[in-house]
Amino acid sequence: MSAPSWVSLDELRRQPALGLLVLDGQHWLLPQADIRSLEPLLDINPTRRAPGSIGALAFAGAWWPVYGLSGELELLQELPGTRRVCLLLDNGADRFGLVCDRVETLAPPPRLFPVPHCMADAASPLRALALLAAGVGAVTDTECLAARLAALVEHADDD
């Protein structure tokens, strides 16, 4: 996965649509342009594993590693029964799948707010906040998620 060069709040605000991912009831938003496909969980091959992944999915002539993350973006050893769909993400540098409870498109996107100073952390995948009907959503992008996954896998190898 590539070295991060975070998307700015202004770039996120210019997105014509955001994808809403629900993970354990937590709402995560990212640019819709990074979403390549939604695939059924049955198509995940559990024998083709990259480190930290739950398997891989064949798509566009390649195997895409698929990860299970909690609502707090921690690696899951086992998927909760609420997971229904595999979201394939591709930003041109990073390609991987995330198993989600639910995915939908928000177009036009909700208004985005900067992360409060007390929550700001350069290592965090949190880039902005969004006010949703269901509460506050956390805004990220594929590159931030890829960096988070790389750090989690590296840390898991240290254990």
The answer to whether 96 and 146 have CB atoms below 8 angstroms apart is: yes
- Look at residue 122 and tell me if it is in a domain: yes
Q: What are the structure tokens assigned to 93, written together?
A: 């540098």
Q: Residue 124: which residues within 8 A CB-CB, separation 6 or more?
A: 115
Q: Tens digits of per-residue pLDDT, 31-81?
A: 999 999 999 999 999 999 999 999 999 999 999 999 999 999 999 988 999
Range of the domain at 27: 9-158
- Look at residue 3 and tell me if it is in a domain: no
The rounded distance, in Å, linking the Cα atoms of 1 and 3 is 7
- Look at residue 60 and tell me if it is in a domain: yes
- Look at residue 138 and tell me if it is in a domain: yes
What is the pLDDT at residue 3?
39
- Look at residue 25 and tell me if it is in a domain: yes
Q: What pTM was estimated for this model as a whole?
A: 0.90
**3-class secondary structure, 128:** strand
The rounded distance, in Å, linking the Cα atoms of 34 and 28 is 14
> How many domains, in total, are found in the chain?
1
Q: What percentage of the chain carries pLDDT values higher than 90? A: 83
Give strand ranges (E) for 17-84. 18-23, 26-31, 35-40, 55-59, 62-68
CATH number, position 131: 2.40.50.180
The rounded distance, in Å, linking the Cα atoms of 142 and 32 is 10
- Look at residue 2 and tell me if it is in a domain: no
